[in-house]
Structure 1
Amino acid sequence: MVAIRDINDRSREIFRGIVETYLETGEPVGSRYLSRHLGVDLSAASIRNVMSDLESLGLLFSPHTSAGRIPTDAGLRMFVDGLLQVGVLSEDEQSQIETQITQSNKGAGSVEEALREASMLLSGLSRCAGLVLAPKTESRLKHVEFVPMDARRALVVMVTEDGSVENRVIDLPQGLPPSALQEATNFLNAKLRGLSVADARRRLQAEIEQTRREISELTSRIVEEGFATWSGAGAGAPASGPDALLSRSLIVTGQSRLLDDVTAMEDLERVRLLFEELENKTDVVQLLGLAEEAEGVKLFIGSETKLFGLSGSSVVVKPFRDQDRQIVGVIGVIGPTRLNYARIIPMVDYTAGVVSRLLSRGPLS
C-alpha cells in the first residue's frame, strides 16, 4: 500500500483538499473546484493530472461519469494516519460529556445500563450509532454450597439473588475429611455473599494467604478449585478467545441517526446493509474484540473489514478499563466512512476515559 511519504508535496495538498472537501460535503470533488478553493497556483488541467495519478495509486476513484473524485477506503486510511489534524475537545464539551455520563448514571442498576447511557450520549454528539462491547451484568451471590457426590467428586452449587442456579463438578483432593465441604460452604457464604462472581474471585485471590490461615489447606484447595470453575480455568466460561468474546453484551444505540443525512437511494441502501450487518452480532462482537488490543482509539474503515465492507461504514472505538485497570470492553461509534474523524476521534477518546474513571470507583449498584 502506498504511504504518505511516497507522494510529493503538491500531490499531498491536492489529496488533502479532496478528502477534506468530501468529508464536509459528501460530494465528488472536481479539478475546477480545487483550482478555485485550494490556494495552489495550478491550472485545472494540472490538478486533473495529479488526480489521475492519485487514482492510479488506489487513493481516489470516480463514483460516476463526472470528473469529480472521492477517496477510496485506502485513501481515507492514509489520510487519517498521515494527514488528519485531530481536534481537541473544548472545556465545555469535556464538561458536557463528564456531567451527562456521571449524572445519568446515578442510581443506574448495572454497569450495562451505565454504558448504554454513555453510548447514547456518544450517538447524540456524533450523529452516528453508538457501540459498546461490555461485560455482561453479573447477579450477586446469594448462596454457595459444596455437595458430596462420591469420595472423589463434589458438586458446587451457586445460587444468585435473581434466583438462577448453576452447578459445577470438581475433583476432591485425596484424604479430605468429611467436614471439609461444610467448612468450605460456611467460609464462602460468610465471605462472599452479596458479591458478583468476578468480585468474589478477586477477593479470594487478594486474600489467599489469609484464607489459608483461617481454614485448613485441603479446604482452601476446595475453595480455590470451586471458584476456578467460574473463572475460566475449569468448566466455566473461558477467560479469552472467541467464546469469551461471545459472552459479552453488545449494546447498539441511536441507529436511527444513520438516516438523518440520507438523501439518495444509494445512501439508503448502504444504511439498510449496515442495519443487516449490525444484526449479525457474533461478527460485530469479534470485530470489536480486536479493538481491545489497541492502546488508544482504533479505526476500522470500510472494506478494511469484511463485516462492514458492503455498507461502506467506519467504526471508531476505544477500550475502557475497570477498577483493576483491566480492559473490560470498548466504546465508540459507527457511521458512514464520511465521518468527521477530526472531531469524533477525540470525542470517543475522552468518553472512554470518563467511562474508565466511572468504573474505577468500583461496581455500580
Structure 2
Amino acid sequence: MSVSNPPSSLAALDDRMRTIFREIVESYLETGEPVGSRTLSQAGRLSLSPASIRNTMSDLARLGLLTAPHSSAGRLPTHSGLRLFVDGLLQIGELSANERRAIEGQVGGTGRPVKDLLGEASAMLSGLAGGAGLVMTPKQEAPLRHIEFVSISPVETLAVLVFADGHVENRLMTTPDGLPPAALVEAGNYLSTRLKGRTLGEARRAIEEEMAAHQTQLDEAAQSLVTRGLADWGGPEGEQSLIIRGQAKLLENVDAAEDLERIRLLFDDIERKRELIALMDRARDADGVRLFIGAENPLFSLSGSSVIVAPYMNSEQEIVGALGVIGPTRLNYARVIPLVDYTARVVGKILDGGR
C-alpha cells in the first residue's frame, strides 16, 4: 500500500475524514487500543455504516495519519497523525483553581535549596501527569557573595553558598580526616574573600592557580577542606543536570509484551541524559510549551515516546531551565500541556523569590 506524505493541516481532510480521525485519536488516547470501524459505528456518534467508516479509515491510512498494528482490523494514529491532531483538533482546557493551588502548595516554599525545589516539581509532574517528570536545572552563573562551613558530624560538613542574586545553596561534603573546628572558619574566610563577585567557575580556576603556585596562607587542614570543596563543586561552569522522578509510573497499566518492550526502550532513552538535556534545551528557544512526538526526535525513534516541555525564567525574565513530562505517545495532552505550562510559571515565580 502506498502512503503519501501526511498533510500539514486539517484543510486536506473533508468533514467525514476529520470526524472519524478525531474519534480514532481520542479513543486511542483514552484506551491505548486500536479502533475498528464496527466499534465506531456501534458507538452511535457517527451516522455511517461500518463499510463507509472502513473506507474513510483506509483513506486516512494512505495519507499517513493512521496505521494498523499487526493483523488487527483496528487503526491507531501514527506520530504524524498525533501531531496533526494536537496542532489542529486538540482542545486544551484551563486548570481549575484547586489544581493551581495544589501545584503551588506542593512545589511552593521559598528558602529551600534550588535542587530540592526542582526535585519536588519533577515528582509532582510525574504524579499528576502519569509519566516521568523531568526538570533541567538552571545554569549557575550568578556571582558568589559569601561562603561558610558548618560541621554536621565528625565526617560531614555543610557548605553554605550565598549568591549575589540572593539565593542560597547548601552542599554536603565529606570532612577531611582530623580537621579541627578552627579550620572551618579559616577555610570559609579564605574562600569568601576570593569568591566574592566571581562565579563559582571563575573562583575555582583562580584558587586552583593560587594553590598550584603555593601562594596560599592556609594551613594543611584548611587547604584540604578547600580542595575537597572545589572537587565537590566541580564540573564545567554553567553545566546543567537533569532531575528525573516517577519512572515507575511508566510501568503502570502495561499489559502487552510489546508495550513493556517500548517502556524498556524508553528507560534506555532516559538514561541517555546528555541527549535528553539537549532536547529540553531546545525548549529555551520557545515561547511556551513545546511538544515532541515519537520519531520527531531521533532519541525516541525506537520507544515512540512523547515529551512535553516548557521553559522557566529567572527574575530578569531570562530562560534558565526547562521542565516537563516524558511518557508514551498516548499521554493526556489536553491535561498535561497546561499542567506543564503552569508548573513552569510557578517554579519561575518561586526562583524569583515569590514576586
Normalising by structure 2, report the TM-score: 0.73
Secondary structure in 1 matching 2:285 = coil
Identity among equivalent pairs (%): 53
1:352 maps to 2:347: no
Q: Which residue in 1 is equivalent to 2:168?
A: none
1:126 maps to 2:129: yes
Whole-Å Cα distance in 1 between the matches of residues 110 and 253 of structure 2?
A: 33
Which of 225, 233, 257 is equivalent to 2:249? 257
Residues 124-163 of structure 1 mapped to structure 2, 5 A cutoff: 124-135=127-138, 140=144, 142=146
1:49 maps to 2:49: no
Secondary structure in 2 matching 1:251 = strand
Q: Which residue in 2 is equivalent to 1:204?
A: none
Whole-Å Cα distance in 1 between the matches of residues 343 and 160 of structure 2?
A: 32
Write the letter of the residue equivalent to 2:123. Answer: M
Residues 214-293 of structure 1 mapped to structure 2, 5 A cutoff: 247-293=239-285
Rate the CA distance shift 1:339–1:38 in 2: closer, same or farther, 3 A: farther
1:64 is displaced (CA, Å) by 2.2
Is the Cα–Cα contact under 8 Å of residues 30 and 69 in structure 1 kept in the other structure?
yes
Which of 80, 91, 112 is equivalent to 2:86? 80
Q: Which residue in 1 is equivalent to 2:19?
A: 13
Write the letter of the residue equivalent to 1:320. Answer: Y
Q: Which residue in 1 is equivalent to 2:164?
A: none
Which of 23, 29, 37 is equivalent to 1:23? 29
- Root-mean-square deviation (Å): 3.0
Q: Which runs of 5+ in 2 are unaligned?
A: 1-5, 148-158, 162-170, 174-190, 204-234
Secondary structure in 1 matching 2:25 = helix
Q: Which residue in 2 is equivalent to 1:197?
A: 199
Q: Which residue in 1 is equivalent to 2:114?
A: 111
Secondary structure in 1 matching 2:330 = coil
1:163 is displaced (CA, Å) by 11
Q: Which runs of 5+ in 1 are unaligned?
A: 144-158, 165-187, 202-235, 239-243
Is the Cα–Cα contact under 8 Å of residues 139 and 321 in structure 2 kept in the other structure?
no
Whole-Å Cα distance in 1 between the matches of residues 140 and 251 of structure 2?
A: 31
Q: Which residue in 2 is equivalent to 1:152?
A: none
Q: Which residue in 2 is equivalent to 1:213?
A: none
Whole-Å Cα distance in 1 between the matches of residues 293 and 94 of structure 2?
A: 22
1:33 is displaced (CA, Å) by 1.0
Write the letter of the residue equivalent to 1:113. Answer: D
Is the Cα–Cα contact under 8 Å of residues 130 and 252 in structure 1 kept in the other structure?
yes
1:281 is displaced (CA, Å) by 1.2
1:100 maps to 2:103: no
Is the Cα–Cα contact under 8 Å of residues 110 and 354 in structure 2 kept in the other structure?
no
Whole-Å Cα distance in 1 between the matches of residues 327 and 194 of structure 2?
A: 47
Q: Which residue in 2 is equivalent to 1:296?
A: 288
Rate the CA distance shift 1:272–1:285 in 2: closer, same or farther, 3 A: same
Rate the CA distance shift 1:323–1:256 in 2: closer, same or farther, 3 A: same
Whole-Å Cα distance in 2 between the matches of residues 124 and 107 of structure 1?
A: 24
1:82 is displaced (CA, Å) by 0.3
Deviation per CA, 1:303-334, whole angstroms, max 9, x where unpaired? Answer: 11110121111000100001111100111100
1:40 is displaced (CA, Å) by 2.2
1:137 is displaced (CA, Å) by 5.6
Whole-Å Cα distance in 1 between the matches of residues 262 and 351 of structure 2?
A: 36
Deviates more, 1:37-46 or 1:291-300: 37-46
1:32 maps to 2:34: no
Is the Cα–Cα contact under 8 Å of residues 131 and 250 in structure 1 kept in the other structure?
yes
Write the letter of the residue equivalent to 2:351. Answer: L
Whole-Å Cα distance in 2 between the matches of residues 106 and 135 of structure 1?
A: 16
1:305 maps to 2:297: yes
Whole-Å Cα distance in 1 between the matches of residues 315 and 258 of structure 2?
A: 45
Q: Which residue in 1 is equivalent to 2:319?
A: 327
Is the Cα–Cα contact under 8 Å of residues 111 and 137 in structure 1 kept in the other structure?
no
1:192 is displaced (CA, Å) by 7.0
Secondary structure in 2 matching 1:334 = strand
Whole-Å Cα distance in 2 between the matches of residues 91 and 196 of structure 1?
A: 42
Counting matched residue pairs gives: 280
1:107 is displaced (CA, Å) by 4.4
Whole-Å Cα distance in 2 between the matches of residues 97 and 72 of structure 1?
A: 33
Structure 1 outlier segments of 4+, above 3 Å: 136-143, 159-164, 188-193
1:285 is displaced (CA, Å) by 0.9
Write the letter of the residue equivalent to 2:350. Answer: L
Deviation per CA, 1:311-363, whole angstroms, max 9, x where unpaired? Answer: 11100010000111110011110000011101111111111111111112289
Normalising by structure 1, report the TM-score: 0.71
Whole-Å Cα distance in 1 between the matches of residues 192 and 77 of structure 2?
A: 61
Is the Cα–Cα contact under 8 Å of residues 139 and 320 in structure 2 kept in the other structure?
no
